[in-house]
Amino acid sequence: MLREGECRIPSGCAITGFINRDGRRTTGNPIIESIALMNERSNGLGGGFVAYGIYPEFKDSYALHLLFEDKSSRHQVEELLKDNFFIEAEDCIPTRLTRGIGKAPLLWRYFVLPRVAKSESLETSQDMITHLVMGINDTIPGAYVISSGRNMGAFKGVGYPEDIGEFYRLDEYQAHTWVAHGRFPTNTPGWWGGAHPFTLLDWSVVHNGEVSSYGANKHFLQMHGYKITLQTDTEVITYALDFLVRRQKLPLEAAAKVLAPPFWVHIDRMPAEERELYAQLRVVYGSLLLNGPFSIIVGFPGGIMALNDRLKLRPLVAGEKGATLYVASEEAAIRAICPNPERIWYPRGGEPVIGKLEENALCCQSA
């Protein structure tokens, strides 16, 4: 029997991602290669990817990726869509037979626009999509929304992530931002809807760790209208970001300081103006503080953010070369696809790493 210290304990789960800040798009092959290097961090019960910039021909539509367990659930969702949205296009999400991937649910995608007047705000459309997603996940048995953003999509399931990437034919997509997750579930079952990433609108989150503040976080979000149905802390992180940035209009950097704030002893030593800001964030949004070990990669339309807990109990490394920013659980996962980075660093606990598309980057993006 192996004793403690004689075997590797990887602390479960693998995360990796990169953004080409100049808007350059690449296939899914590099992200598959990066996540495959950390195969021992997964156990075959979940893998997933999210890609941004993959649907330029429908860039203004909401791309709904759904899984259905039967035809009845699909019929109910389509009736709901027809009543409230214009369906611009729909088809089965392309897949291929892949060794290691068992029987899959029905995977479908719809490109939709809400039936709202042109004079109404973007927030109205986003609220409609939010209500749709939570309504489907909460009230239609056998139906689950995988992703619901614009010009992006999530692809996930039960299996090792490299097999999930092959199954979804990610080598045929082009994206400026890719994020991946290899799952090692510890207290929830492996099922297709439970794999990472978790998404809402254009937000996506992959996560390594365990959030012990789940109950307090969940209660706060429920008070603000969010339906927490999937019983996972990653779902809560996704909704917390939507609440803080989209609804409360906080900068992403401030939202990161809500999720992983400085300790009070450090706040007390800050200059007066900075001290007041962080104290207000702690008081107003204290229920969204994430306790416990975690590292996450967050995807959003203009970029990615990587963040780990204040004590750095889960690994996180970042790298850069040219216009590309890489983040991952392990340095080797970055070097697998960027052998000679110009810079490698290990962010401090609670310090976000944010990469954003350059201004006008997508104007020159090839379709």
DSSP letter string, 205-216? EEEEE--TTHHH
Checking if the pLDDT of 137 tops 60, the result is yes
Tens digits of residue pLDDT in 242-275: 999 999 999 999 999 999 999 999 999 999 999 9
**Could you tell me the CA-to-CA distances from 238 to 227, 235, 300, 317, 361 in Å, in that order?**
12, 5, 11, 21, 26
- Tokens, residue 146: 């995988």
Give the mean model confidence (pLDDT) for residues 141-152.
Answer: 96
Give the mean model confidence (pLDDT) for residues 289-296.
Answer: 94
Checking if the pLDDT of 317 tops 80, the result is yes
Tens digits of residue pLDDT in 72-112: 999 999 999 998 899 999 999 999 999 989 899 999 999 99
Checking if the pLDDT of 3 tops 70, the result is no
**Beta strands at 324-328 and 343-345: parallel, antiparallel or unpaired:** unpaired
**Beta strands at 62-68 and 143-147: parallel, antiparallel or unpaired:** antiparallel
**What domains, with CATH codes, occur in the chain?**
14-257+292-358 (3.60.20.10)
Confidence band of 189 (pLDDT split at 50, 70, 90)? low
Nearest to 13 by CA among 231, 207, 304: 207
Q: Give CA 222 to chain center in angstroms.
A: 20
Q: What integer pLDDT is reported at residue 11 of this predicted model?
A: 56
Give the mean model confidence (pLDDT) for residues 113-130.
Answer: 77
- Alpha-carbon gap, residue 227 to 340, rounded angstroms: 45
Catalytic residues: 13
